[in-house]
């Protein structure tokens, strides 16, 4: 397990709590996109059984999270928003390298870094919420994101030497820190 190089500001948590409905809508979108990303990996790597199996399970889990967030939205009289691009994810993806092997490595490690950031931020939300169903939900989501972070990194180690994985992960963590620090603080996961 690695550590993120930039800690989310307490101002982010305050911003989320001040507009929690907007955060929930964004959270639902993030879960749906995560499920789609996992399905995409199944399509792109059918020759890698460990990735196929892991990504099918991940897709189902992320879709279950999506369903649960949608239930919360509906209880609050909210509805899903339109699909939008995530500036954080798009900025990270710009650092994916071309070439079959390095692209696979980057895709796996970016998945790990994105899940780590989600874990950190969902944990902040869970800590800040009052005791109740929402707090319990975000505690469970935080635990799930922690497992996903490990999943992507372990898959990377299945295909690349530890030294290569660790070197590229360190590079991506530095890039991710700069990206997060530069983004505006809004009531959204990223």
Convert the pLDDT of each residue in 38-92 to its tens digit.
Answer: 999 999 999 999 999 999 999 999 999 999 999 999 999 999 989 899 999 999 9
Q: Which residue has the tokens 């650092």?
A: 95
CA distances from residue 87 to 92, 118, 123, 185, 186 in whole angstroms, order as listed: 9, 14, 21, 12, 12
Q: Who contacts 35 (Cβ-Cβ below 8 Å, separation ≥6)?
A: 58, 59, 60, 62, 63, 66
| 82-114 exposure pattern, b = at least 16 Cβ within 10 A, e = fewer | eeeebebbebbeeebeeeeeeebbbbbbbbbbb
CA distances from residue 12 to 33, 87, 121 in whole angstroms, order as listed: 22, 16, 9
* Structure letter (DSSP) for residue 114: H
Please, are residues 23 and 16 in contact by the beta-carbon 8 Å criterion?
Answer: yes
The pTM score is: 0.95
Please, are residues 103 and 96 in contact by the beta-carbon 8 Å criterion?
Answer: yes
Q: What CA–CA distance (Å, rounded) separates 66 from 51?
A: 22
> What's the pLDDT band for 1 if we cut at 50, 70, 90?
confident
Q: What is the mean pLDDT of residues 121-145?
A: 96
Please compute, for residue 17, the number of CA atoms within 13 A of its CA located in the half-sphere on the CB side: 14
DSSP secondary structure string for all residues of 139-170: HHHHHHHHHHHHHHHHHHHHHS-HHHHHHHHH
> What's the pLDDT band for 145 if we cut at 50, 70, 90?
confident
Please compute, for residue 83, the number of CA atoms within 13 A of its CA located in the half-sphere on the CB side: 5
Q: Percent of the chain beyond pLDDT 90?
A: 94
Q: For each of the domains in the chain, give its residue range(s) and CATH number, in order of start.
A: 10-182 (1.20.1260.10)
Give ∠ CA 101-105-111 in degrees, rounded to 5: 145
Residue among 1, 190, 22, 10 at smallest CA distance from 114: 190
CA distances from residue 188 to 115, 121, 185 in whole angstroms, order as listed: 15, 10, 8
């Amino acid at each position: 397990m690695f550590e993120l190089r930039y800690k989310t500001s307490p101002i982010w948590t305050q911003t989320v709590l001040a507009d929690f409905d907007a955060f929930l809508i964004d959270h639902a979108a993030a879960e749906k996109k995560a499920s789609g990303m996992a399905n995409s990996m199944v399509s792109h790597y059918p020759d890698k059984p460990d990735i196929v199996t892991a990504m099918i399970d991940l897709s189902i889990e992320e879709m279950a999270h999506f369903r649960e967030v949608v239930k919360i939205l509906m209880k609050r009289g909210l509805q899903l928003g339109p699909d939008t691009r995530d500036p954080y994810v798009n900025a990270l993806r710009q650092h994916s390298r071309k070439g079959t092997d390095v692209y696979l490595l980057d895709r796996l490690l970016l998945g790990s870094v994105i899940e780590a950031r989600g874990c950190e931020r969902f944990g902040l939300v869970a800590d800040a919420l009052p005791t109740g169903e929402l707090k319990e939900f975000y505690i469970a989501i935080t635990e799930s994101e922690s497992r996903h972070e490990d999943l992507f990194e372990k898959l990377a180690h299945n295909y690349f030497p530890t030294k290569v994985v660790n070197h590229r992960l360190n590079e991506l963590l530095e890039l991710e820190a700069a990206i997060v620090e530069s983004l505006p603080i809004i009531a959204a996961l990223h």
